[in-house]
Amino acid sequence: MNINMEEVIGKTFFKIDNTHNEIHFYCTDGHLYKMLHHDDCCECVTIDDICGDLEDLVGTPILKAECVSDNGQDSTIDPSLYEMSKDDESSTWTFYKFATINGYVDIRWYGSSNGYYSEGVDFEKSEECHLQEWREYKLSNLLN
pLDDT of res. 2: 75
Q: Are the CB atoms for 61 and 12 separated by under 8 Å?
A: yes
Q: Give me the domain span that covers residue 20.
A: 5-143
Q: Are the CB atoms for 48 and 106 separated by under 8 Å?
A: no
Local confidence pLDDT in tens for the 144 residues of the chain: 678 899 999 999 999 999 888 999 999 888 999 999 887 777 888 899 999 999 999 999 999 999 998 776 544 555 555 554 555 577 888 999 999 999 999 999 998 887 667 788 889 998 777 777 777 777 777 676
CA distance 142 to 51: 31
pLDDT of res. 81: 54
What are residue 117's phi and psi, to 5 degrees? -125, 160
pTM: predicted TM-score of the whole model, two decimal places: 0.80
**Domain count of the chain?**
1
